[in-house]
A and B are shown apart, each in its own frame.
Chain A
């Protein structure tokens, strides 16, 4: 991987994110006719609508609207919520912390667990444990995250066991890691989904590596099973599954929205859902851009790691 490639890739990333912001702006603010009317509903007076139009800057040329909007986002002043008139930054600040905590803890569990599960399964290929893993993953990969979440709630948070809270309400002002019990089920849901997906991919790439000619060569050299698995097969298998890790980040981010809603967890996902319901444009736009940018950065990171692995 050359520095030139990296610079080009990053420049391209900036361009794509810019296009994403244009798309979000166009769709939410410019396209759907009179936004102010939609936000306020049919019963609003002409005066109310005019006020809102002015507040949102809708009475200005499109280009200027976009410039102000993007400038505000980039300087950390994405406007004021239409719902409760608070600055968007203040509403979303703690929610960003909550969501990222959820996402990071989940990814920190998903990566090692997937590698462990995938390698163990592949090393004992066609054994009972391997077949069970394959069966469980193909069952679970198809599950919508809210179904997993509901099943976990039914199992752990209702009369059956009742050991964990089924609603993860973290009071405003508190940090999420001050409420570990509230984090368990959301993290478990995301981790389960991620491991099912990535673990299966790791298994497949370890098996590919074990079937390769260089592993056959290592066997013919008389190397030990352990060395063949960990020194010859594993590094190549992990390099091969790196791009998939980006996809898992994607699944996790989509999952965050739904899983937060399942557990009423106060994060970006729940903020996004209620912003859509209440037509709170500034909150909606900020949430979407943050989630899309995170998602894109995860994919970019996976691409860069994969390229680094290839040229190493």
Chain B
């Protein structure tokens, strides 16, 4: 059923636009580093030069080629986003389903623990750990994932509770089917729709969170090229040379918008099909 939802969602106009944007970004991320005319970290010219044949988008505040940094700077954001989403969704789903299955003490303890994590806005949650353990993109991405888990777990617990109370799960309980089989065989397929919607939304939020953290300098460290980092590096030169700031912004925008269009059409398709079963 989830396959058919994905297929139907992909047929809508907005989803196609979104997929197109994501494909373009994917192309830049995968092939960009090979196409870059200059090494992304090399200082090759005076700072803040305007566009020219040699430097099509000009140079940044340190005199590095903006186009080359742009072409090389998507990879980090991409893998960090995917990792954060993956951790958030898998961890959240596990916790949410466990809490829903083991109602009672385990449920309360798990959900209160989630409340504690939830009471940090995720940026601040990440900052606390970064302050203690230093900057590593891997750490930052994992932390964003962990910060997402409580939200995902709440949604999944909420979606799973009625499924656990549904008659077909009661039948399985009355007939003594093993717990693992009930959770994986009966309940999990019953919550694929919210899981898909949640994944799409978290993917978009992860782009926002990771790009923001890189912008603040708490993800990847200079001089590595990254779109978020480029914005903060060149912010002071905005009045003189807007391109080093606006060009990475345009790419972040495409990525976030593309993701959001796809996520929204999945959510719409799901909510439209839900009513019919």
Q: Which of A's residues lie within 8 Å of B, judged by CB?
A: 12, 15-17, 19-20, 23-24, 27-28, 31-32, 138-139, 141-147, 150-151, 153-154, 158-159, 166, 250, 253-254, 257-258, 261-262, 272-273, 275-277, 279, 281, 284, 288, 291-292, 295-296, 299
Contact = CB atoms under 8 A, between A and B. Distances in A.
B257 interface: yes
Interface of B: 14, 112, 115-116, 118-124, 127-133, 204, 207-209, 211-212, 215-218, 228, 231-232, 235, 238-239, 242, 245-246, 249, 252-253, 256-257, 259-261, 264
Contacts of A284: 128, 131
22 contacts: A15-B112, A16-B112, A138-B260, A138-B261, A138-B264, A139-B260, A142-B204, A144-B215, A144-B252, A146-B211, A146-B228, A147-B231, A254-B124, A257-B216, A261-B216, A275-B131, A277-B217, A284-B128, A288-B127, A291-B121, A292-B119, A296-B119
A154 B119 contact: no
Contacts of A24: 128
Contacts of A254: 121-124
B218 A276 contact: yes
A119 to B, nearest CB: 21
A141 B121 CA distance: 17
A158 B239 contact: yes
Contacts of A16: 112, 115-116, 119
A144 B242 contact: no
Contacts of A250: 121
For the residues of B in contact with A, the DSSP-based class is helix
Nearest to B218: A276
Most buried by B among A146, A158, A295: A146
Contacts of A27: 128-129, 132
A273 B218 CA distance: 9
Contacts of B204: 141-142
Given A147-B252, A154-B238, A276-B127, 13 more contacts: A27-B132, A28-B132, A141-B260, A142-B204, A147-B253, A150-B245, A154-B242, A154-B245, A254-B123, A257-B216, A258-B212, A277-B217, A296-B119
